[in-house]
Amino acid sequence: MRKALFIANWKMNKKIAEARKFCEEFLPLLDNVTDVETVICPPFTCLHVLSAALQGSPVKLGAQDLFWEDKGAYTGEISASMLLDAACEFVIVGHSERRQIVGENDTVINRKLKAALDASLLPVLCIGETLQERENSMAMEVVKEQLHRDLRDIELSEGQLLIAYEPVWAIGTGVNASSDDVRKMIAFVRECLAKMFSQSLADSVRILYGGSVNEENIKMFLSKEEIDGALVGGASLQAESFAKIVRYKEI
């Protein structure tokens, strides 16, 4: 059985003192929570303070991005080995904001996935369609192509990959995909993975939903067996709201 996973993506929010205060408030709210897994992905500047603050807790540390080379003349970039040195276990790859705003294409994302896997970091591959693509009935085609291009020439074993389905039109807009639409897409993603790799690997991959998730709608999404958790943006910035998401069974 796949364990529910909740990932906080803080994006470009929180300074060091704010990150430390969040942990002081958040960790006590997770007492007796043992049936889910929780990850926080702060800005790079807060990795060090969170690695210390989370030590000994069940909450794990992740990064929001990485570069595909291990070292060299790459101003402003950060490598997989640097993330490991900061105690990261997870890394987000291909977030829609990096695709849409920074201009990352599938070739870049493929190289980043390979770098993460080579370093034994657990990548969270983000995929999803735009509103125009959905309105043109292209959503599944777009997602299938992303999977094939992003995972090209990659060999996977069980437990090496996480996927987050995040329809671009639902991120940070307050507009949600319906839980049925998400369920159907995640089932489709699992079908694609089975054809690309194997059914056993596809069954082992945890597939999350990301797109204006909050404490009010999380239970609706997690009621669908196919949805294994959530990649949470704005609602993860407040300790109480993110704790309610993690403790969704009590809502």
Structure confidence at residue 211 as a pLDDT band (50, 70, 90): confident
- Which residues are identified as catalytic? 95, 166
pLDDT of residue 172 exceeding 80, the answer is no
- Which pTM does this prediction carry? 0.96
In the block, which residue shows the tokens 């693509």?
133
pLDDT at 168: 86
Q: Are 162 and 205 in contact (CB under 8 A)?
A: yes
Q: Are 88 and 64 in contact (CB under 8 A)?
A: no
CA distances from 226 to 74, 143, 156, 165, 186 (A): 40, 17, 21, 12, 7
Go through the domains of the chain in sequence order and give each one's CATH number: 4-250 (3.20.20.70)
- What average pLDDT does this structure show over 173-198? 91
Which tens digit of pLDDT belongs to each residue from 220-250? 999 999 999 999 999 999 999 999 999 998 8
Q: Phi and psi (nearest 5°) for 192? A: -60, -45
pLDDT of residue 131 exceeding 90, the answer is no
pLDDT at 13: 98
Structure confidence at residue 11 as a pLDDT band (50, 70, 90): very high
Distance separating alpha carbons of residues 54 and 23, to the nearest angstrom: 7
Which tens digit of pLDDT belongs to each residue from 151-169? 999 999 999 999 999 998 7
